[in-house]
Amino acid sequence: MLKHTLLKAVQTGAAVMQSYFNGTFEITNKEGINNLVTEADHASEKAIFEVIRQDYPSHYILSEESGEIIQDSNYKWIIDPIDGTVNFANGIPLCCVSIGIEQDGKMILGAVYNPFINELFFAQKGFGATLNDKIIHVSKKTEVIKSALVTGFPYTYLDAPNGPLQIFEKLIRKGVPVRRLGSAAIDLCWVAAGRFDGFYEHKLQAWDSAAGFLMVEEAGGKVTDFTGNHYSPYQPHILATNGHIHQELLDIVNGGEVKTIPAHQ
């Protein structure tokens, strides 16, 4: 029942998102330049809430636009009604609905749906991860220098040692391909599907990563914070990889250098 409601919620939100796509809608700005929220975000969120409340009216909800709707429940729905809002507002079809469900503080279910390319990712704790009902697995790359990575940059620049731009420059100067798609939920799902070998970001909110980090873990990958501790979506830093390159990429994020391949190889 919980899975059924989750899938119905992401599909309902996505249908609303599609109805606004490339149309005319109101856009406002949150903290930081180009940190947008649109009329479609609110409409998608409203539709998702209606689905959840129909089946689980007493569940706790944490959502990007409405914040916390506190209930005395051991279940919490963590919702991003449109992840990749800047993409969405510009007619770029790299955006999605992302919903994770916690039980007693542990993520147990996650779904991420991009209707524009018809990709529905789903994960259940202990049961693996799927893309359109087919089992997915992380990649098998073992060196950062041979990996394809993805990242994002915060709307309010994080002025700290080994910040987003410094790490980005360090990697690309060594020839490591690093992409920036504009949707952390999609980034994580694409790591889970083996398209990327690793993802790192300095400043995420719980709704950005709740579903996606479970996707990576259930696809056989590893997700930590920047100290190497088990990941919590309630802190800002995330490193998600296929597991094989995790320690090396963790070292790089913390100031280390990219290991290059000797010339004779």
In this predicted structure, what is the pLDDT of residue 162? 83
- The span from the CA of 101 to the CA of 116, in Å, is 24
pTM of the model: 0.94
Which whole number is the average pLDDT over 139-145?
A: 98
Q: What whole-number percentage of the chain has pLDDT above 90?
A: 82
Q: What is the band of 224 on the pLDDT scale with cuts at 50, 70, 90?
A: very high
Domain ranges for the chain, please list them: 2-135, 144-253
Distance, CA of 256 to CA of 220 (rounded, Å): 25
Q: How far apart are CA 235 and CA 250, in angstroms?
A: 16
Mean pLDDT across 84-109? 96
CATH number for the region 144-253 comes to 3.40.190.80
Q: Is residue 34 scored above 80 in pLDDT?
A: no
Which is nearest to 180 in space by CA: 161, 202, 158? 202
Sheet bearing 238-241, strands edge to edge: 178-179, 149-151, 198-201, 238-241, 222-224
* Range with the poorest average pLDDT among 31-45, 58-72, 181-195: 31-45
Q: What angle do CA 6, 12, 16 make, to 5 degrees?
A: 145
Intrachain domains 2-135 and 144-253 with the same fold:
no
Please compute the mean of the pLDDT values over residues 5-18 and round it to a whole number: 97
**Looking at the domain covering 2-135, what would its CATH class be?**
alpha beta
108 or 89, which is more confident? Answer: 108
Quick one: pLDDT at residue 92?
96
How high does pLDDT run on average in the chain? 93
DSSP state string for the chain: -HHHHHHHHHHHHHHHHHHHTTS---EEE-SSTT-EEEHHHHHHHHHHHHHHHHH-TT-EEEETTTEEE--S-SEEEEEEEEE-HHHHHTT-S--EEEEEEEETTEEEEEEEEETTTTEEEEEETTTEEEETTEE--------GGG--EEE---SS---STT-HHHHHHHHHHTT--EE--S-HHHHHHHHHTTS-SEEEES---HHHHHHHHHHHHHTT-EEE-TTSPBP-TTSS-EEEE-STTHHHHHHHHTTPPPPPPPTT-
| Section 47-55 average pLDDT | 97
pLDDT confidence tier of residue 263, bands split at 50, 70 and 90: low
- Most distant CA pair in the chain, distance: 64
Query: Can you give the pLDDT at residue 22?
Result: 83
pLDDT class for 226, splitting at 50, 70, 90? Answer: very high
Mean pLDDT over residues 101-117, rounded?
98
Of 2-11, 45-54, 121-130, 147-156, give the lowest mean pLDDT range: 147-156
What's the confidence (pLDDT) of residue 144?
A: 98
**pLDDT given at position 158:** 66
| Residues contacting 105, CB < 8 A, separation 6+ | none
pLDDT at 35: 65
Give the pLDDT band of residue 154 (cuts 50, 70, 90): confident
